[in-house]
Amino acid sequence: MRDIVKRKVTKAIFPVAGLGTRFLPATKSIPKEIMTLVDRPLIQYAIDEARAAGIKEFIFVTAKGKSALEDYFDSAPELEKTLRKKGKTDLLRELRATDMDSGAIAYIRQREALGLGHAVWCARRLISNEPFAVILPDDVIAAEKPCLQQMVEQYAETGGNMVAATKVAPEEVSAYGILSVTGSKDKLLTVDDMAEKPSVEDAPSRHAAIGRYILEPAIMNRLKDLKQGSGDEVQLTDAIAQEARNGGKVYGYCFEGQRYDCGSKAGYLKATVAFALARDDLKDELTDFLKQLRFS
C-alpha cells in the first residue's frame, strides 16, 4: 500500500511579533508587515497567497506595537461611504481585499520576542490536531501559481512536514536554515536533518528553508520542549530537524517563483522595483527614471 496521507490544510499561522530591527527606526512605530510594496502592505500579499491555497483560518502571532496590523483588517465604514459617494469603485474593490470574515482571523500575543519557533508555539491551542501552514510575510514570492498553493497540492499527495526550499549562494548559507538532503524527486527533496545558520564549511547543502511551511501537529510538541538555540531564539528549524532525525517525514519543496527577502533592506528595495515595473500604471515612468539614473 502506498504511504499517502491525504489531508487538507485550512489554518495558517502568520508570525508577526518580531522586532524588525533591520528596519529601525521605521519599525519603532510601524510594524514591518505594514510596509508597502508600491501600495499594498506585505501582509496583504501573504493573506492573498493563503487564500489562494484554501486557507480559511488566519492566526496572527502579534506583539506590543502591532495594532496597525489589526486595524488594517478592520472594516472602514466611513471611508467606504465616502468612496461610494464619489463613485470610486476601483478603490472600493481594492479595499475589499482587506475584508476578513468575522471569526476567520485570530490574534495571539507573544509576550517576548523569543524567536520564530516560540511564536509558532504560541498558537498551539488554535491548531489542535491538524496540519497547519506557517507564512512569514517578509518573504514575498511572485509566482504564477502562489507558492503555498503549490505546496498544499504537493502535501495532499505526500503528507509529512514541508518547507519551501531555495538554493542560495555559499556566502548566504549562514543566514538560513539549511536542509540536509538525502534524495530528490521532481520538486521534492527528502530531508533527514537541518542546520540553523551554519558556517559555509558545516552547511549540509545549499538548499535553504524560506518562509513557507506546512507542518504536522507533532512539531508543536517538539517546540514545547525546545531550548533557545542559535541567536538565543527558539528556532522553528530545530523542531523540524528533531522531527526529521527521529524518523518524521520532512521534505523541502523547490517552488516555482521569484522570492524576495523583504526582511532585508536590499531585498525590500528589489521587490519594490520589481513589483512597480510589473504595474501598467507605473512601468513606463519608472523605467525612464531608472535609465536616467543609470546614465547620469
Q: Which residues bind ligand UTP (CB under 6 A)?
A: 15-22, 32, 61, 110, 113-116, 118-119, 136-138, 263
Q: How far is the CB of 13 from ligand UTP (least distance, A)?
A: 9
Q: How far is the CB of 88 from ligand UTP (least distance, A)?
A: 32
**Cβ count near 265 (within 10 Å):** 11
Pick between residue 13 and residue 189 the one whose CB is nearest to ligand UTP: 13
Neighbouring residues of 265: CB distance < 8 A, sequence distance ≥ 6: 22, 23
- Asked whether 95 and 80 are in contact (CB, 8 A), the reply is yes
Measuring CA to CA, how many Å separate 218 from each of 39, 124, 129, 139, 263? Answer: 38, 11, 9, 25, 28
Pick between residue 21 and residue 67 the one whose CB is nearest to ligand UTP: 21
Q: What cell was used for 265?
A: 533592506
Strand partners, 36: 41
- Asked whether 175 and 164 are in contact (CB, 8 A), the reply is no
Pick between residue 32 and residue 222 the one whose CB is nearest to ligand UTP: 32
Strand partners, 185: 188
Pick between residue 119 and residue 276 the one whose CB is nearest to ligand UTP: 119
Q: What cell was used for 285?
A: 515612468
Pick between residue 63 and residue 203 the one whose CB is nearest to ligand UTP: 63
Q: How far is the CB of 212 from ligand UTP (least distance, A)?
A: 12
Q: What cell was used for 98?
A: 482587506
Pick between residue 22 and residue 187 the one whose CB is nearest to ligand UTP: 22
Q: How far is the CB of 201 from ligand UTP (least distance, A)?
A: 24
Return the residue nearest ligand UTP (CB atom): 18
Q: How far is the CB of 54 from ligand UTP (least distance, A)?
A: 22
- Asked whether 12 and 106 are in contact (CB, 8 A), the reply is no
- Asked whether 47 and 69 are in contact (CB, 8 A), the reply is no
Q: How far is the CB of 42 from ligand UTP (least distance, A)?
A: 9
